[in-house]
Amino acid sequence: MPVESDAELREILGMERIAVVGCSTTPGKDAHEIPKYLLDNGYEVIPVNPSADEIFGRTAYDSLADVEEKIDVVDVFRPSDEVSGIVDEALARDDVAVVWTQLGIADADAATRAEDAGLRVVQDKCLKVEHQRLVV
């Protein structure tokens, strides 16, 4: 069952390294502004976007498989029908602890697969909103 409790959300928000799948280069888009907010609030943001070389002065990776750094949380800014493939990529790594899908994004089957493999899942919630509500 996806994470819902404030205590668990606070624990997840205490993790430092967040890979943002679908991170945007376009200011004003949520997929740009929310990762920027996270970066400005002390998180290490790893942009994942095959159409960009760099975002926020950081290397943008084509996929989760290409990320060399350790990943704590995979934050998904892609349509719900792409979540399953992203979960597959997260499960292929041995360092991901959480898959978080942003507002309006969810895939119950992919969430169950991730949970069955030992990952925690947060669906249909905004990292920035939850950070402001529970941490700031």
Domain boundary assignment for the chain? 6-134
Residue 12 confidence (pLDDT) above 90: yes
DSSP secondary structure string, 15-72?
--EEEEET--SSTTSHHHHHHHHHHHTT-EEEEE-TT-SEETTEEPBSSGGG--S--S
Q: Which residues, 6 or more positions from 24, have their beta carbon under 8 angstroms from its beta carbon?
A: 31, 32, 49, 55, 77
Structure tokens belonging to residue 24: 């945007």
- Return mean pLDDT, the chain: 97
- The per-residue pLDDT for 4 is 87
- This prediction's pTM: 0.96
pLDDT category of residue 113 using cuts at 50, 70 and 90: very high
pLDDT digits (tens, 9 = 90+) for 41-72: 999 999 999 999 999 999 999 999 999 999 99
| CATH number of the domain located at residue range(s) 6-134 in this protein | 3.40.50.720
